[in-house]
């Protein structure tokens, strides 16, 4: 019988979690790079185009559905699968059919800063793996990551379960097999951090003014262990999280 558990990325951790070292789960967009500056505009346009093509609707209706499903489910693709029977991978490939490399913007010295952070590093993103890998390569930090956990792997009981799914967070924690308090999610999206905190993980909120609902939560929420205004504050220890 085929397992209904969380899919495991093909790139497994290269090193064990030695001496109870921290396991860092990094979000991608608006966390590791500034996707609001250029990339999100392209993704929104490509996704609207993909919805229009997949459902044979005009751009206005496609944009409405794209936004509706993203707000309701955390990912447009879930709504398309549930309500329209669209094949997830086909849609994701279509909606991310562009070269992100010229559009990637990040903090200066990101490679050097990553070298200073101890522990295992895993990417946890609702984006497709191909897109995520390309962005990490462009940033120059792909070698630091032991695993890429993308939306391609977020299937539970035959359904797509991306962040902020509580079931997803529980499965990830179980798969990692380490003390929950040693697992740290680094994110710009508060609802994802809240879901992780409920499973015992610790959380770092990377504040980005363009992330939806960030403007109304400029303080630190009770489910956020540490709030930083830039990734560099965490990586260089200017705003440390005790691990």
The 10s digit of each residue's pLDDT in 161-176 is: 999 999 999 999 999 9
Structural contact between residues 129 and 140, judged by C-beta atoms closer than 8 angstroms: no
pLDDT reported for residue 6: 65
Cα separation, 78 vs 234, whole angstroms: 32
* pLDDT above 70 coverage of the chain, percent: 88
Euclidean distance between the first and the last CA atom of the chain, given in angstroms as a whole number: 40
Residue 10: pLDDT over 90: no
- What is the tens place of the pLDDT at every residue in 127-163? 999 999 999 999 999 999 999 999 999 999 889 999 9
18-34+105-235: what fold?
Answer: Rossmann fold (3.40.50)
Domains of the chain, by residue range, sit at 18-34+105-235, 39-95
11 or 176, greater pLDDT? 176
Q: Smallest Cα–Cα separation from 222: which of 205, 238, 234, 199?
A: 205
Instruction: Give the Cβ contact number of residue 162 at 10 Å.
Output: 21
Between CA 156 and CA 162 the distance in angstroms is 10
Going by pLDDT thresholds of 50, 70 and 90, the confidence category of residue 1 is very low
**CATH code assigned to 39-95:** 1.10.150
Distance of alpha carbon 203 from alpha carbon 147, whole angstroms: 19
What's the pLDDT band for 20 if we cut at 50, 70, 90?
confident
Please give the helix or strand (H or E) that residue 227 lies within, else none: strand 226-228
Q: What are phi and psi of 219, to 5 degrees?
A: -85, -175
Q: Where are the alpha helices (DSSP H) in 74-118?
A: 76-84, 88-95, 110-114
| DSSP designation for 38 | T
The answer to whether residue 226 scores a pLDDT higher than 90 is: yes
* Local structure of 5: helix, strand or coil: coil
pLDDT at position 239, please? 72
Q: Is the peptide bond before 102 cis (omega within 30 degrees of 0)?
A: no
Name the residue among 84, 92, 106 with its Cα closest to residue 34.
106
pLDDT at 212: 60
What percent of the chain clears pLDDT 90, i.e. is strictly above it? 79
Asked whether the CA dihedral 222, 24, 30, 169 is positive or negative, the reply is negative
Closest CA to 154 of 138, 139, 170: 170
């Amino acid at each position: 019988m085929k397992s209904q558990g969380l899919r495991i990325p093909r790139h497994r951790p290269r090193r064990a979690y030695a001496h109870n070292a921290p396991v860092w789960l990094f979000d991608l967009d608006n966390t590791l790079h500034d996707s609001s500056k250029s990339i999100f505009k392209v993704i929104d346009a490509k996704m609207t185009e993909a919805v229009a093509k997949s459902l044979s609707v005009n751009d206005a209706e496609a944009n409405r559905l794209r936004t509706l499903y993203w707000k309701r489910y955390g990912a447009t693709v879930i709504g398309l699968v549930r309500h329209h029977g669209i094949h997830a991978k086909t849609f994701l490939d279509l909606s991310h059919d562009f070269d992100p490399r010229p559009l990637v913007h990040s903090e200066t010295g990101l490679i050097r800063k990553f070298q200073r952070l101890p522990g295992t590093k895993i990417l946890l993103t609702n984006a497709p793996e191909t897109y995520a890998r390309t962005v990490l390569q462009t940033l120059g930090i792909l070698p630091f990551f032991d695993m890429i956990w993308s939306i391609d792997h977020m299937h539970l009981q035959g359904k797509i379960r991306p962040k902020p799914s509580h079931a997803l967070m529980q499965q990830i924690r179980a798969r990692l097999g380490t003390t929950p308090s040693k697992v740290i999610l680094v994110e710009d999206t508060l609802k994802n951090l809240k879901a992780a905190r409920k499973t015992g993980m610790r959380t770092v909120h990377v504040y980005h003014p363009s992330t939806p609902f960030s403007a109304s939560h400029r303080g630190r929420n009770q489910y956020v262990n540490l709030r930083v205004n830039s990734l560099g504050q965490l990586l260089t220890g200017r705003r440390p999280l005790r691990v």
